Amino acid sequence: IHTDSDEGEGNIKYTISGEGAGTIFIIDELTGDIHATERLDREQQSYYTLRAQARDRLTNHLLESESEFVIKVQDINDSEPKFLEGPYIGSVAELSQMGTSVMKVTAWDADDPTYGSSARVVYSVLDGERFFTVDRQTGLIRTAVADLDRETQDRYELVVMATDMAGQMGGLSGSTTVTIVITDVNDNPPRFPQKMYQFSVSEGAAVGTPVGRVIATDADMGENTDMSYLIKDEEGGELFRVTTDGDTQEAVITIKKPLDFESKRTHNVVVEAVNKHVDPRFLELGSFRDQTIVRVSVTDTDEPPVFLPAEGAIMEVQEDARLGALVGTATAKDPDMENAPVRFSIDRSTDQEQIFLIDPVSGAITLGKILDRETAGWHNITVTAVEAVSIRILDVNDNPPELATPYEASICEDAKTGSVNRPRAQLEPITLSGAKE
């Protein structure tokens, strides 16, 4: 600074006051030259406001009104770009079209944007450029391919760099990591691991009894794996029901109608799995359903004999019929085995006087006592039919051999070594058999 009244004789003293006076800035009292005592940082303070005074060196009085001036700190490129919000996490759906916007990253440069290119930032991808690109000017990240598959890779790690000086040589740079999560779409159908499953169930199992569980797998995730199951064949749909376990996504097959081993021993049930949430964009990939065969084997249970007719019978006999006369024949069959023997008997609590007799094999009912219609016009008896049980006794080796007859042998005293008269032993054949009704 300099005043016009300064004739260079050293009578004037220059002083300054204000921001940084005496610390950051000092003034030469004789010449008025102002000097900075330390390095200035524009990013911390871009200007300083000071006031200058010209005083009489002897009286220290102001020679003129003080003047205010501003020291502006000129910028240099000393600050690298910084991603203040990094690291970043974004997401994009798998199979998105090439060029789909994912997210935007922004770097901030503390240098003066109005001075040169120190704060002019451009973006580039250092790692991951095969799958993603970044707009050089805006920092917008887009997909570079159209076949991102979550089932193959569900996330990508990118390194994005920001460079100031518009990317020119000598520019400073900073980088950040960007994690891009690939979200799922329903592009995979359900698939049964096996084309056939086998289960067995007793013919006596009640309606609602679980037969077995099967499950179709789906490579997708979340609600895209939700599926329902159907029985596709008519016969299987009449006898069995399938429901979906909401927790495990398994198909639970239960009995819908009673099963009969004697009618059909094996049922092949066609079960189909269908995705609940089908995305029409991917129907061209194929059917979002799959089928498997569930083979159900019905095991036999020991059922009691069945009377024919099942509701019972009314038999008639003349009251003057002789003893032993045939009244009628009870008929029953074993449903488990054709032509299996059945044994009959009369429940004597219903015929305590033993008026009627029954042949245990044929079921023929005959008179055991003379009838009198005037005494009793009706007799209600209960006939029982049971399966015959045969017990075969197996042989064990509990009898030693016995000689068929006594034997005597003579030998000469001079007989040669090895000469023997050999008696014959005989095993008696033993046959055991028995039956129990």
Question: Tens digit of pLDDT for each residue in 179-198?
Answer: 999 999 999 999 999 999 99
Q: Considering the domain boundaries, does residue 341 fall inside one?
A: yes
CATH number at residue 20: 2.60.40.60
Please report, rounded to a whole number, the percentage of residues in the chain having pLDDT higher than 90.
Answer: 44
Q: Are residues 324 and 415 in the same domain?
A: yes
Task: State residue 230's pLDDT score.
Answer: 96
> Is residue 156 over pLDDT 70?
yes
Angle at 391 between CA 387 and CA 392, to 5 degrees: 145
**Residues 327 and 420 placed together within one structural domain of the fold:** yes
Q: Which residue, 135, 288, 296, 311, is CA-closest to 205?
A: 296
Where residue 372 falls among pLDDT bands split at 50, 70, 90? confident
- The predicted-structure confidence for 217-256, as pLDDT tens digits, reads as follows 999 999 999 999 999 999 899 999 999 998 899 999 999 9
**Highest-confidence segment of 74-78, 151-155, 317-321, 353-357:** 151-155
Query: Can you tell me the distance from the alpha carbon of 233 to that of 269, in angstroms, rounded to the nearest whole number?
Result: 7
Predicted confidence band at 321 (pLDDT cuts at 50, 70, 90)? confident
Return all residues near 177 (Cβ < 8 A) that are at least 6 apart. 86, 87, 88, 157, 158, 159, 160
H-assigned helices in 162-299: 234-239
The token duo for 53 is 């005074």
Please indicate, yes or no, whether residues 148 and 228 belong to a single structural domain of this protein.
no
263 and 212 in a common domain: yes
Interval 373-408: pLDDT, tens: 888 888 888 888 787 666 778 888 888 887 777 777
Determine phi and psi for 195, rounding to 5 degrees: -85, -10
Residues 129 and 247 in one domain: no
Q: Side chain identity at 182, as an amino acid letter?
A: I
User: Of 58 and 208, which is predicted with more confidence?
Assistant: 208
pLDDT category, 428, cuts 50, 70, 90?
low
pLDDT > 80? residue 309: no
Give the domain-ending residue among 246, 278, 299.
299
pLDDT at 388: 66
Dihedral pair phi/psi, residue 320, rounded to 5°: -95, 15
Query: CB-based contacts of 427: which residues, under 8 Å, 6+ apart?
Result: 401
Tell me the percentage of the chain whose pLDDT exceeds 70: 92
Same domain flag for 124 and 143:
yes
- How many beta carbons lie within 10 A of that of residue 88, not counting itself? 19
pTM of the predicted protein model: 0.59
Q: How confident is the model at residue 434 (pLDDT cuts 50, 70, 90)?
A: very low
Single-letter amino acid, residue 272: E
Question: Which of residues 183, 216, 231 is at a domain's end?
Answer: 183
81 assigned to some structural domain: no
Range of the domain at 285: 196-299
Bridge partners of residue 175, in order along the sequence: 161
Mean pLDDT of the chain: 87
